[in-house]
């Protein structure tokens, strides 16, 4: 194999090998604790410092291209908020996270936001939109519907991190993603 072809092969394979996979239960509790503390903090400088530390942790987890596998232990759920392109997790807040918080602290609202040509956001590329059949399945389902599947984190140039925004006033963590595969969970 000539050198140019070998180099091209490595460049094409490298991005595939560098994709990381997480399970929903692998998300960073320590960052979420810091965000809960920041939201309850009365000192604005202290809150800002805690958000900064949380973002440093989340930047390592929420990297563009990271796939989060949603399985039987923790489902995606269509919330009753009326926001058609948002999903939450059935297992959130995680037990360890809830146990780590003081009584006056509340975990951040964790939301996975996906985008379509009809519901888009400046700074999200068209190639990162959720496919129409998947989006239609999510849009047509009732609030509270559970899903297994996977989401891929997508870059957002205007985020607080590479794939997310955090809103201190509402204590909301919005993670930008593309829903790659989804399957409704039938409850027995």
What residues make up the domain containing 46?
A: 20-184
Kindly state the average pLDDT of the residues 98-105.
91
Percent with pLDDT over 90 in the chain: 73
Reported as a single tens digit per residue, the pLDDT across 4-55 is: 443 334 334 444 445 588 788 789 999 999 999 999 999 999 999 999 999 9
Question: Which pLDDT score is estimated for 10?
Answer: 37
Query: Does residue 1 sit within a domain?
Result: no
Percent pLDDT > 70 in the chain is: 89
The HSE-up count of residue 169 (CA atoms within 13 Å, CB side) is 0
Alpha carbons 108 and 160: distance in angstroms, whole number: 15
- HEC assignment per residue over the chain: CCHHHHHHHHHHHHHHHHCCEEEHHHCCHHHHHHHHHHHHCCCHHHHHHHHHHHHHHHHHHCCCCCEEEEECCECEECCCCCCCCEEEECCCCCHHHHHHCCCCCCCCEEEEEECCCCCCCCCCCHHHCCCHHHHHHHHHCCCCCEEEEEEEECCCCCCCCCCEEEECCCCEEEEEEEEEEEEECCCC
Mean pLDDT, rounded, for 82-99:
89
Residue 39 in domain: yes
User: Is the residue at 14 inside a domain?
Assistant: no
User: What is the average pLDDT across 106-135?
Assistant: 94
Check whether 2 has a pLDDT greater than 60: no
CA angle, residues 152, 68, 144, in degrees to nearest 5 = 95
Tens-digit pLDDT profile for residues 174-183: 999 999 999 9
- Residue 138 maps to a domain: yes
Q: Per the domain annotation, does 15 fall within a domain?
A: no
- Of 2 and 123, which is predicted with more confidence? 123
Q: Could you tell me if residue 7 is inside a domain?
A: no
Looking at the domain assignment, is residue 80 inside a domain? Answer: yes
Q: What pLDDT is recorded for position 22? A: 78
Q: Tens digits of per-residue pLDDT, 64-83?
A: 999 999 988 899 999 887 77
Give the span between the Cα atoms of 92 and 172, in whole angstroms: 13
Domain count, the chain: 1
Banded pLDDT at 187 (limits 50, 70, 90)? low
Per-residue confidence (pLDDT) for residue 5, from 0 to 100: 42
Q: Comparing 165 with 15, which gets the higher pLDDT? A: 165
pLDDT of residue 15: 45
Residue 4, domain member (yes or no): no
């Amino acid at each position: 194999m000539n050198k140019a072809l070998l180099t091209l092969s490595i460049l094409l394979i490298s991005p595939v090998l560098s994709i990381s996979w997480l399970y929903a239960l692998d998300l960073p509790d320590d960052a979420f604790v810091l965000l809960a503390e920041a939201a309850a903090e009365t000192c604005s400088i202290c809150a800002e410092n805690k958000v900064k530390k949380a973002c440093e942790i989340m930047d390592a987890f929420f990297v563009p291209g990271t796939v989060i596998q949603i399985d039987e232990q923790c489902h995606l759920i269509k919330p009753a908020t009326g926001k058609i392109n948002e999903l939450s997790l059935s297992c959130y807040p995680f037990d360890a996270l809830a146990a780590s918080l003081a009584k006056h602290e509340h975990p951040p609202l964790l939301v996975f936001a996906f985008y379509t040509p009809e519901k888009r956001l400046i700074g999200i590329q068209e190639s990162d939109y959720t496919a129409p059949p998947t989006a239609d399945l999510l849009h047509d389902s009732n609030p509270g519907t559970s899903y297994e599947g996977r989401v891929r984190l997508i870059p957002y140039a205007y985020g607080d991190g590479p794939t997310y925004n955090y809103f201190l006033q509402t204590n909301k963590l919005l993670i930008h993603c593309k829903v790659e595969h989804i399957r409704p969970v039938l409850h027995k």
